[in-house]
Structure 1
Amino acid sequence: MRSLSKDPACMTARAIPSPPGPRSGIGVPWRDRQGAFSAFKLAVLVALMLPALWLAWQAANGMLGPRPLNEAIHQTGLWGVRILLVSLLVTPLRQLVRQPRVMLVRRMVGVAAMAYILAHLALYIADQGFDLGKVVSEIVLRFYLTIGFVALVGLVALGITSTDGWVKRLGGRRWQALHRAVYAIGVLALVHFVLQTKLDVTEAMLTAGLFLWLMGYRLLAPKGGAPALWRLALLVPIAAIGTALLEAAWYGLGTGVPFWPVLEANLDTEFGLRPALWVGIVSAAMLLPALYGKWQQGRQPVRGRRASATRSA
């Protein structure tokens, strides 16, 4: 097992700066580091834009309810947290499927998370009538807004320093140390999410449970590689039970609802699946890319032998 500090799941790829020149792909998100067109990067870019386009379409057609700004604030914040988790998934996914090109999109995904959270703040400012004094006062006086703002500042810092130029300026070690802050930012964002939800924290707990899996993965994985299948399988009940404990603790401390009935409710499927079961299902599903990666690894020696035979002939 290893510590989190040995695997910086930061917003950008650990990269060697691209060579200068017209084909470097700088500023063109659908090109790879050599400047060639990447269908994979384009597909991810489109997917990242879809929530914003859907929100804009809803706003244009009056589908955001009686308080459209409030709904837009909620949706941009929700998607910001979701995409932040996706940015943390990039490294595990690359290790599980053994496909280095997955890392091409980590920077893009991290910057997209920052963009959605910035939109979240901008819409909140608009909802306050662009009264910046009131906005500052609310952020200072309301704890959940304070920690949300701190998370946003952290994301902006990571976004600004996500370029190859900043990797060179800071040096690899300092850059990695800075970008490990994404773990703390994730915690702050989730606490903000839970606190502002107030009553029904189902979605917030589901998100927190998936974050638990992401952190558990990093604790169980060897440096630079995927954990053994038995460790991934062990992580399934750990993440699910951890999610159930978080939900029970929240209701117990926040609303006074008894701890054990909430914990037991996670096994009751009469009214749908609770967050703990969903986290268990998603965690179990992550065994599939791990099996695919093992299968790919098993094929490599065969391909290597065939290539050697062809060259000899």
Structure 2
Amino acid sequence: MHILSFARYAPWTDRRGQLSWLRLAVFAGLLLPAAKIFYDLAFGPVLAEPYEAALHSAGDWTVRLLLLTLAITPIRRIFSWNRIAGVRRMIGVSVLAYALLHLGLYAAEEQWNLAKVASEIVQRIYLTIGFTALFGLSLLGATSFDAAIRRLGRGWQRLHSLVYGIGILALVHFFLQSKSDVTQATLMSGLFLLLMLYRLAVKARFDLANPIVLAGCAVLAAAGTAGIEYAWYALATGIPADRVFAANFDVATAIRPAIWVGLTGLGVAVAALVQMGVGLVRPRLGLKRV
């Protein structure tokens, strides 16, 4: 009886306590980055700054998983894949876990001098922004359980809409700590912009499963990504922003974040188009949708 009760709450089971291969695969995938971080710390090469690479890796995965959490609803709408909503909470909690790991590794880098850590968070603006994002994630994590959802009622949805602001804070933190090389920060910001455009399209009553709508979002997100990158280099660095912007049109040298964002969005549009074609062909062949 106790085993069956535990099974209901295991991350790899559904609400009926039955094994879900989707949840099991997602749970294992969420553990892999952390496993690699700890493996590299324990068995990797000895470095002058042993925690620096792990610290940045944990931060990168925090942002990536935050974007993955925000992608669940658009994926569900575009591909009519309702089952994927069942892993959203698990991914969301993992965002908080990696953010806490990121903070813990920073404390380890500072020799667990918590007074110094607190002082640095107060004095350095990018750390203040990052800690504010972590506080917001902690608040969302603490209210992600069924009991909190029932207790908060309609206020739960309003509270968890803070995730968009938290995402912006996390990306600003990413930019500020990246200094001159903001390729990854720009890419993550572009993908965040793409996900926000999907939400705006829904609010504007566009059909998000329409490949034309998705392609339009992809083009706008790519242009916005190029604009974000240009603005960063123009306002925050001494690197010529015009040259960085022009590099977006020179794919032979390197593919810039704006191009990757556009390709990602267009890939989603193509996948939606293929699904639409399959949906039209299936009835003619007498096949049932699984």
Confirm whether residue 268 of structure 1 aligns to residue 250 of structure 2: yes
Q: What is the correspondence of 1:114-263 to structure 2 with a 5 Å cutoff?
A: 114-171=96-153, 173-221=154-202, 226-263=208-245
**Displaced runs of 4 or more, over 6 A:** 299-307
Q: Aligned match of 1:93 in 71, 75, 79?
A: 75
Cα 1:296–1:180 change in 2 (3 A) is farther
Helix, strand or coil for the counterpart of 1:90? helix
Greater helix proportion: 2
Cα 1:170–1:296 change in 2 (3 A) is farther
Q: Aligned match of 1:84 in 66, 69, 74?
A: 66
Paired AA for residue 137 in structure 2: L
**How does the TM-score come out when normalised to structure 1?**
0.85
Unpaired runs of at least 5, structure 1: 1-20, 308-313
Partner of 1:279: 261
Tell me if structure 2 keeps the 8 A contact 1:65–1:71. Answer: no
Q: How much identity, in percent, do the aligned residues show?
A: 45
Residues 9-43 of structure 1 show CA distances to partners (whole Å, capped at 9, x for unaligned) of xxxxxxxxxxxx94584430000112111001000
- State the number of aligned residues: 286
Partner of 2:32: 50
| Cα distance in 1, alignment partners of residues 19 and 107 from structure 2 | 38
| Cα distance in 1, alignment partners of residues 174 and 144 from structure 2 | 25
Helix, strand or coil for the counterpart of 1:33? coil
Range that drifts further, 209-218 or 224-233? 224-233
Residues 256-288 of structure 1 show CA distances to partners (whole Å, capped at 9, x for unaligned) of 334332211111123321111111111111114
Unpaired runs of at least 5, structure 2: none
Residues 162-194 of structure 1 show CA distances to partners (whole Å, capped at 9, x for unaligned) of 1111110000x2100000000000000000000
Question: CA shift at 1:48, angstroms?
Answer: 0.7
Tell me if structure 2 keeps the 8 A contact 1:90–1:103. Answer: yes
Cα 1:109–1:306 change in 2 (3 A) is closer
| Cα distance in 1, alignment partners of residues 273 and 189 from structure 2 | 26
**How does the TM-score come out when normalised to structure 2?**
0.91
Residues 116-175 of structure 1 show CA distances to partners (whole Å, capped at 9, x for unaligned) of 01000011111111111111110011000001000001011111101111110000x210
Range that drifts further, 213-222 or 38-47? 213-222
Partner of 1:18: none
